[in-house]
Structure 1
Amino acid sequence: MATLARAVDEALAEVTRQAGASLEIVAAASIDLKADEVGLLELARARGWPLCFHPAARLAVVPVPH
């Protein structure tokens, strides 16, 4: 796994740990502005995750707990 992908992987593990959750990711999604982000693409490929991107307008209407 390349350095950028490793950094994204470590960040996911840390966020998951802080949330007290289990790291059982089966797919990944992000804003379409990240569609060419090397670390995210490499990590998804290395983990075998399907990866999809959504426009900001679509994400803005998704309720998120704060």
Structure 2
Amino acid sequence: MTIERKPPSGPRRTAQEAWEAIALPTPAHPHVAVEVSRESALELAAAVQRVLAAVPEGVE
């Protein structure tokens, strides 16, 4: 059994053009930089550590 390759339809694109043609997902809410105090950042870090500590061993 032989597999025949069809020639590409349409004009050939450069790698750059092909890359730009890929539709990338856009976030519903763009990232916004927010300044937080050191205390707030430490509270958040502590909360994350508590959550991670509660995850059973072996769960990824």
TM-score range, shorter chain: under 0.3
TM-score normalised to the size of structure 1?
0.20
Which structure dedicates a bigger proportion of its chain to helix?
1
> Greater RCO between the two (CA within 8 Å, min separation 6)?
1
Which structure dedicates a bigger proportion of its chain to strand?
1
